[in-house]
Amino acid sequence: MKIVVIQGPNLNMLGHREQNIYGPMKLEEIHAQMEAVAKQNNIEVEFFQSNLEGEIVDRIQECLGDADGIIINPAAYTHTSIAIRDAISAVAMPVVEVHISNIYRREEFRQKSLTAAVCTGQIMGFGPFGYHLAMISMMQILGEIQAAKQAQEAAKQA
């Protein structure tokens, strides 16, 4: 199984920017923890970060046929990007949206996620630990999909 983790704008600045909201942990540290969980569970994980909307759309589209699921933090594009929403919808695979902060406790313009409705689920407000929860969630989702496929195959052969 392969999970692609897509990080949106300014997440490369974690550990430096607004530590009162995002904490002191750097993106590289979050990715290292996610990679450790993936290795323990024999899952391939790939990381991508961009500040550019079109690059994020391209990477989501590239997941089609190459990945089993996506964990995404669209960051500020959560609230503005119909293009990212449409790309998530188009690939039709499990997608878990993650936010370090609770967007519903933030400014009013941040309290709307354009992408959430096309994601399998949303995790927010747990700080960097939210990425760990997203990994666990994605492993569960992919395990259930795999079990359902195996049951269908067994039913065909019966």
138-153: pLDDT as tens digits: 999 999 999 999 999 8
Which tokens belong to 87? 């790309």
pLDDT band at 158 (very low <50, low <70, confident <90, very high): confident
Q: What is the mean pLDDT of residues 40-67?
A: 97
Question: Which residue type sits at 72?
Answer: I
Active-site residue flag, 22: yes
Domain 2-157 is of which CATH architecture? 3-Layer(aba) Sandwich (3.40)
- Percent helix, strand, coil in the chain (nearest 5)? 55, 15, 30
Question: Can you give the pTM of this predicted structure?
Answer: 0.92
Active-site residue flag, 99: yes
Q: By C-alpha distance, which of 24, 31, 40 is closest to 7?
A: 31
Given the residues 16, 31, 79, 99, the one annotated as active site:
99
